């Protein structure tokens, strides 16, 4: 695990600002009639304007199915990793999750949000509010003296207390010079065991940098992968949402790297 210096965190903060600018531009463009490809091109243009590089495009290197776009875009019952398309047109009442990653001076900024298209249902609005709040609950727990498991439990306890499910198969993760670095930070953790098979809880120390990303289903936590090799959906077809911020652990409150 690589603990970042103050200078490295400053670069990551700049990468995060680029991501935040992309988010703002995409939010402004979300309306009925817009395609997910249109949103992808907004992101690509801003990345190019800042001399950055899209972190998702072509990921992972050497894969038989590298990701073919700049952003991931998921509508309604799509959870994560959706591929933008000129044929995916937003409609009134949809919700859309947009995830963006960029490399800036060798460091990654990674963040995502879910938003409504026009007027959305009360049920969808509550799902968005709970999922976004769960991200900040996790961030609030990301302080020295806690471990990564405490962040995981905080997210899970809040989400499940609101009547929703947290996804098990996909997690938050370290971020820095690579898009995925140790450690993994699940959005859940067994209450009665200090460790979970396949995962280890790490004490939080200044210089750690993570992308925290609660993935919340209105139904059960199970997921399945579609035939495009990328798009993940809830197995029961329920509505879902996804929010991400990259953060840095400090001696005080965590620093959110991907705010404007």
Residue showing tokens 């801003």: 46
What is residue 125's predicted lDDT score, i.e. its pLDDT? 98
For all residues of the chain together, what is the average pLDDT? 96
In angstroms, what CA-CA distances link 119 with 31, 39, 125, 126?
10, 19, 9, 13
SS3 assignment, position 126: helix
Domains of the chain: 6-256 (3.90.230.10)
CA nearest to 123, candidates 80, 166, 170, 163: 163
Phi/psi for 21 (5° steps) reads -65, -40
What is residue 197's predicted lDDT score, i.e. its pLDDT? 61
Query: pLDDT tens for residues 36-83?
Result: 999 999 999 999 999 999 999 999 999 999 999 999 999 999 999 999
What is residue 192's predicted lDDT score, i.e. its pLDDT? 56
Query: pLDDT tens for residues 117-175?
Result: 999 999 999 999 999 999 999 999 999 999 999 999 999 999 999 999 999 999 999 99
What is the share, in percent, of the chain residues with pLDDT greater than 90? 95
Distance CA 256, CA 85 (A): 31
Using the predicted structure, report yes or no on whether residue 1 has a pLDDT greater than 90: no
Q: Are strands 209-212 and 181-185 parallel, antiparallel or unpaired?
A: unpaired
Distance CA 33, CA 13 (A): 34
């Amino acid at each position: 695990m690589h603990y970042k210096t103050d200078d490295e965190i400053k670069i990551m903060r700049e990468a995060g600002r680029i991501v935040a600018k992309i988010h703002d531009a995409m939010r402004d463009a979300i309306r009925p009639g817009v395609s997910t490809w249109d949103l992808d091109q907004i992101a690509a243009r801003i990345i190019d304007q800042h001399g950055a590089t899209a972190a998702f495009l072509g990921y992972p290197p050497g894969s038989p199915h590298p990701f073919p776009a700049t952003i991931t875009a998921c509508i309604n019952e799509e959870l994560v990793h959706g591929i933008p398309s000129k044929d995916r047109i937003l409609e009134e009442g949809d919700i859309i999750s947009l995830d963006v990653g960029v490399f800036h001076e060798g460091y990654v900024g990674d963040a995502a949000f879910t938003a409504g298209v026009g007027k959305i249902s009360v049920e969808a609005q509550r799902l968005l509010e709970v999922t976004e709040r769960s991200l900040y609950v996790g961030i609030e727990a990301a302080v020295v003296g806690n471990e990564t498991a405490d962040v995981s439990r905080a997210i899970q306890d809040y989400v499940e207390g609101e009547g929703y499910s947290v996804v098990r198969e996909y997690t938050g993760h370290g971020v820095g010079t690579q898009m995925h670095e140790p450690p993994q930070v699940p959005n859940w953790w067994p209450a009665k065991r200090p460790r979970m098979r396949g995962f280890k809880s790490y004490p939080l120390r200044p210089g750690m940098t993570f992308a925290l990303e609660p993935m919340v289903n209105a139904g059960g936590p199970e997921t399945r992968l579609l035939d495009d090799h990328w798009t993940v959906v809830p197995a029961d077809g329920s509505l879902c949402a996804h929010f991400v911020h990259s953060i840095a652990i400090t001696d005080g409150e965590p620093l959110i790297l991907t705010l404007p």
